């Protein structure tokens, strides 16, 4: 048999599969760009609504456009009563990400433009999804806790409205603004696992909702969106700053990972971690509880020190390390950390899915179809002989 050259790239690291105008990650310099704008500047000067418009439309909105976009987002916050009824029959132990993924498939049936594949129709569908994801997640948390549902507040920001629907009281303006910044930081990150999943499904000409459901499934894994909840579990396990050093040393010396440290792309500090560290400090000051912020800082310092000893190189905090303690201090349940990630990333997902559907630089009919090397059973040059079951030996 002719020997084949092995061309596999496990994890597709470094493989370019498409052109994109949406975002760029410079891992060497620690720079993240949304449509040409540095995420640090956007986080300090913009809002989630404005960033969502930017991601979808490839430009910043004018004043009247942003006002209209905010109004349209607010008007789409309600979800069908039947979706509430569906959630009410689920076991309260159902994982929130599974509930969210199933809800997206149900929600698709209520979109009047579901099968309208014009770009403008897809932009409208994207707007509806950005708005409704927050309502779904807040509703599920209250349903599983036996609490009355909180109707959306149409007069406050997207970030503030989610915290309001989750808790039933208007959030502190400072907390709402910091949560808004968190949503900006998580909104987009180029061809990550969930974005690639969404684009791959879109390449088959599936509708927007199907593509988003696939992205949600990919985000649910602990190596992707689930990492921030794993960070919080780590913080709860360690609990005291005095236990950090031995815990980190033991974990790294036996080849384990410290969640929230290191990144597949960044070779310096994740720029999002820098801002989240600042938010962590502000939240600690607001709540008067310094425990979680100090514990996170201690884990970061101990991991950097021990990793340098073992590996001889630097390791840096990623977006998940400080987002965990920030969300915890905001009163968000740990198993909602990943759904909150989805509330934000839906802007990036829908922008990518629409770009995939209407890409000008590559054929629209070119669906993703990678290859693989078969290493299973093989009987020479022919397929294995099928033996009827009555003739097989026990």
Catalytic residues: 224, 263, 320
User: Which token pair is 298?
Assistant: 């201690």
CA triple 136-194-341, angle to 5 deg = 45
Beta-sheet strand order (sheet of 31-34): 23-26, 31-34, 37-38
User: Which token pair is 373?
Assistant: 């090397």
> In the chain, what are the helix, strand and coil shares in percent, each to the nearest 5?
60, 5, 40
Distance CA 239, CA 244 (A): 8
Distance CA 131, CA 370 (A): 34
**Judging by beta carbons within 10 Å of its beta carbon (0-12, 13-18, 19+), is residue 156 exposed, middle or buried?**
middle
Q: Which residues of 27-37 are buried (b: 16+ CB within 10 A; e: fewer)?
A: eeebebbbbeb
Q: Give the residue from 141, 251, 84 showing the smallest Cα distance to 260.
A: 251
Distance CA 56, CA 42 (A): 15
Q: Give the residue from 291, 301, 360, 302 showing the smallest Cα distance to 328.
A: 291
What are the backbone angles phi and psi of residue 25, rounded to the nearest 5°? -120, 120
Three-state DSSP at 152 gives coil
H-run or E-run covering 37: strand 37-38
Q: Which residues of 48-75 are buried (b: 16+ CB within 10 A; e: fewer)?
A: bbbbbbbbbeeebbeeeebeebbeebbe
Q: Which residues contact 203 (CB under 8 A, 6 or more apart)?
A: 356, 366, 367, 368
Question: Tokens 């720029």 identify what position?
Answer: 271
CA triple 142-148-151, angle to 5 deg = 90
H-run or E-run covering 274: helix 271-287
H-run or E-run covering 121: helix 119-144
């Amino acid at each position: 048999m002719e020997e084949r050259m092995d061309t596999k790239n496990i994890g597709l690291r470094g493989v370019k599969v498409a052109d994109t105008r949406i975002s760029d990650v410079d891992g060497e310099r620690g720079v993240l760009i949304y449509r040409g704008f540095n995420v640090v500047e956007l986080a300090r000067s913009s809002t989630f609504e404005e960033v969502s418009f930017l991601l979808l439309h490839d430009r910043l909105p004018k004043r009247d456009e942003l006002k209209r976009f905010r109004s349209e987002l607010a008007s789409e916050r309600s979800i069908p009563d039947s979706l509430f009824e569906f959630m009410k029959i689920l076991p309260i132990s159902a994982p929130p990400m599974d509930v969210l993924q199933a809800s997206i498939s149900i929600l698709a049936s209520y979109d009047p433009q579901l099968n309208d594949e014009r770009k403008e129709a897809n932009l409208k569908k994207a707007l509806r999804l950005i708005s409704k994801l927050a309502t779904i997640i807040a509703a599920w948390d209250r349903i599983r806790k036996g609490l009355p549902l909180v109707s959306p507040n149409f007069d406050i920001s997207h970030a503030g409205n989610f915290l309001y629907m989750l808790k039933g009281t208007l959030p502190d303006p400072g907390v709402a603004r910091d949560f808004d910044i968190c949503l900006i930081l998580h909104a987009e990150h180029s061809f990550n696992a969930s974005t690639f999943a969404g684009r791959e499904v879109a390449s088959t000409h599936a509708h927007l909702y199907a593509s988003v459901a696939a992205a949600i499934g990919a985000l649910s894994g602990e190596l992707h969106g689930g990492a921030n909840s794993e960070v919080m579990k780590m913080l709860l396990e360690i609990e005291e700053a005095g236990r950090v050093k031995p815990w980190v040393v033991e974990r790294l010396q036996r080849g384990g990972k410290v969640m929230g440290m290191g990144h597949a792309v960044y070779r310096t500090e994740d720029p999002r971690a820098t801002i989240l560290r600042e938010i962590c400090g502000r939240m600690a000051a607001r709540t008067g509880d310094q425990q979680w912020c100090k514990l996170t800082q201690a884990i970061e310092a101990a991991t950097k020190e021990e990793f340098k000893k073992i590996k001889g190189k630097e390791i840096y905090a990623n977006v998940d390390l400080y987002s965990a303690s920030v969300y915890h201090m905001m009163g968000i349940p740990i198993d909602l950390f990943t759904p909150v990630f989805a509330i934000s990333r839906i802007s990036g997902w829908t922008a990518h899915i629409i770009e995939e559907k209407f890409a000008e630089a590559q054929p629209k009919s070119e669906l993703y179809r990678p290859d693989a090397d078969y290493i299973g059973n093989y009987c020479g040059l022919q397929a294995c002989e099928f033996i009827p079951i009555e003739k097989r030996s026990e």
